[in-house]
Structure 1
């Protein structure tokens, strides 16, 4: 994920091609695709598009029809990121035509383009078209052509699930993600992928108020990532934060505090104290300490966050006023009684209710938990 260094190395490679390679070589085209991938990850979509167009021209010159179609998909992705949806549709449809004629109507490559179109139509508000393309892709994965790997099917199901999740059909998304896990669970080297899927399942359970099932999914993901040595990544820190929130909803406040503390240490190291994910964990940890009656610890964190925003991030963010008001309230109460009792959790949560993300955030507003 060191994109600046990757870009520097790729520039050197392209310079070597410019001096020593024949014009429009396949090798240069491959490296331009790599550069486009790097630039897209950095958010430099216009420059990424330039490299993809040059790569496509080289592939056309060399008669590489399927590679041109694959680049058209990447070009469509860039257009979609730029909000140029008509051009994105045109690129995807070009690729679709080639894949259908060269690979067959039921090839996974065709399904992958259907998923891209489904995502695009969701973003443009055409939900009927979006679901139709999802169904077309599903038909292919339900009856895969010979040679299709289980990993390919699982990846496709996971991508379709993301679209269903976007169109607010979490139950359909959950079914697809659970199918994907079953396809991968006996495959070597797939534990991190399964952990990522379990984390997504956990988030969906959380959003529909099924907190016990959310916690179980998060625990599975965390266990797999710890076992694989991925315990210091930013993703792992975010996952611990989500798991902590599930514990809060289940009144496991001590466990939540431990998870938020570990998440804070990881995100401070990986993202820095000013990153939005780190700030969210600070807020959640302060709220947990408040719930546990550890008022001094809560005040210490909030004072740090308020100072951080004032000195480095600015005060325009709406969270700043919330944090400042919470800090003032805690200081006022601390002045009255250093040994005050923590706010009653029973007054803050209704364990029998199922609430939306917006309602959940509002419900915990008194303590300031951040989803």
Structure 2
């Protein structure tokens, strides 16, 4: 950058590639800064409404959406849409309309979302045909929208229409397109509280991808979702197996420090608890805690959930003092930074009181930092010892 100058168009291209890499790694703050730099260079060097600027605004919208900054995402998509219209890119306009519909859906602006989706649907049908995967993708979006607005019959009908398209794909449809569509439809069936149907679709999606290069992270995501659903229906062995496969793939693909990886570890820990593998669960929760503290912060709900699970696990294996320290720390966080209105606060306070009573102690108002609480060299409880311990008096959180 120093050799070329901060506003050289070649710098913009490099920033774009780096931003995309950060998005893949779910490092959205870094991606946003790089994308801002790219847009600044466009303002200095590119003609108004250029295709390059439109592409970068779509990337920025994706980043903003990931950070739940929906208004900013909408602004970038509208500007990208205007640029594509100016350049006569009808199909790209339709694709952006789908993105705009997604943002409206996130903002609960349902009528505007339907309008955007229907606009895109009309273009896709006329330009690609009624049975193209792009049409099916919009059907899935509409199914999700109608479920959220209580129109369950319409929602199910759109799911079935999308499945018919994916069952008989038109020439040129890739396995990746079908797998992505099946995964999205499975999420709607999950909303319908039909986990078995959702699992069937996820299994089909995984089989389509399993021999395709570069799809390990995608497969890991599918396996993680399957693990969660197996857990929900009480199939804990299958849940743990599926989540373990996801963990192995995520470690191998370099995603072992992402927030998503931390969440998967937490869920695998919960499955281990249900299978009475308490020592294993403790190790998984400890690793999840470290990752989520780094990626999400101490006050994030996912991090707090892991704290709670770790405390319950420590109680179950007889490390009552450590469980007490964690709960004291969590209560201090809630009292000083998050407020006490959350229903979890009273639950955690009650749980702490029970442990303190058992230990014959009173609450420490100045708990030590959790960074120094977990000693990696601490003595592990053997399986024999674990079997003789009582179960924790309080529950676990997914």
TM-score (structure 2 length as normaliser)? 0.83
| Contact persistence 1:290–1:367 (CA under 8 A) | no
- Gapped runs of 5+ residues in structure 1? 346-363
The alpha-carbon distance between structure 1 residues 319 and 342, as it changes in their structure 2 partners (threshold 3 A), is farther
Please say if 1:242 is aligned against 2:267: yes
For 1:237-262, what per-residue CA distance to the aligned partner results, in whole angstroms no more than 9, with x for missing partners? 11111111111112222221121122
* Equivalent position of 1:38 in the other structure: 63
* Equivalent position of 2:340 in the other structure: 315
Count of matched residue pairs: 348
CA distance in 1, matches of 2:238, 2:30: 41
CA distance in 1, matches of 2:290, 2:62: 31
RMSD: 1.9
* Equivalent position of 2:47 in the other structure: 22
| Contact persistence 1:291–1:342 (CA under 8 A) | no
* Equivalent position of 2:372 in the other structure: none
Q: CA shift at 1:342, angstroms?
A: 7.5
Q: Which runs of structure 2 are paired with 1:112-151 in the superposition (5 Å)?
A: 112-151=137-176
Q: CA shift at 1:323, angstroms?
A: 1.4
Please say if 1:91 is aligned against 2:119: no
Please say if 1:201 is aligned against 2:208: no
For 1:82-124, what per-residue CA distance to the aligned partner results, in whole angstroms no more than 9, with x for missing partners? 1111111111111111111111111111111111111111111
Residue of structure 2 aligned with 1:11, choices 29, 36, 40: 36
After the TM superposition, which of the residue ranges 123-132 and 251-260 deviates more from structure 2? 251-260
After the TM superposition, which of the residue ranges 55-64 and 12-21 deviates more from structure 2? 12-21
* Equivalent position of 1:271 in the other structure: 296
Q: CA shift at 1:283, angstroms?
A: 0.8
* Equivalent position of 2:23 in the other structure: none
Q: CA shift at 1:129, angstroms?
A: 0.8
Q: CA shift at 1:343, angstroms?
A: 6.5
SS of the equivalent of 1:281 reads helix
CA distance in 1, matches of 2:109, 2:70: 12
The alpha-carbon distance between structure 1 residues 240 and 193, as it changes in their structure 2 partners (threshold 3 A), is same
SS of the equivalent of 2:48 reads coil
* Equivalent position of 1:175 in the other structure: 200
Question: Runs of 4+ in structure 1 displaced over 6 angstroms?
Answer: none
CA distance in 1, matches of 2:128, 2:135: 8
The alpha-carbon distance between structure 1 residues 213 and 83, as it changes in their structure 2 partners (threshold 3 A), is same
Q: CA shift at 1:156, angstroms?
A: 0.8
| Contact persistence 1:287–1:368 (CA under 8 A) | yes
Residue of structure 2 aligned with 1:255, choices 277, 280, 292: 280
Please say if 1:52 is aligned against 2:77: yes
Q: CA shift at 1:161, angstroms?
A: 0.5
Q: CA shift at 1:299, angstroms?
A: 1.3
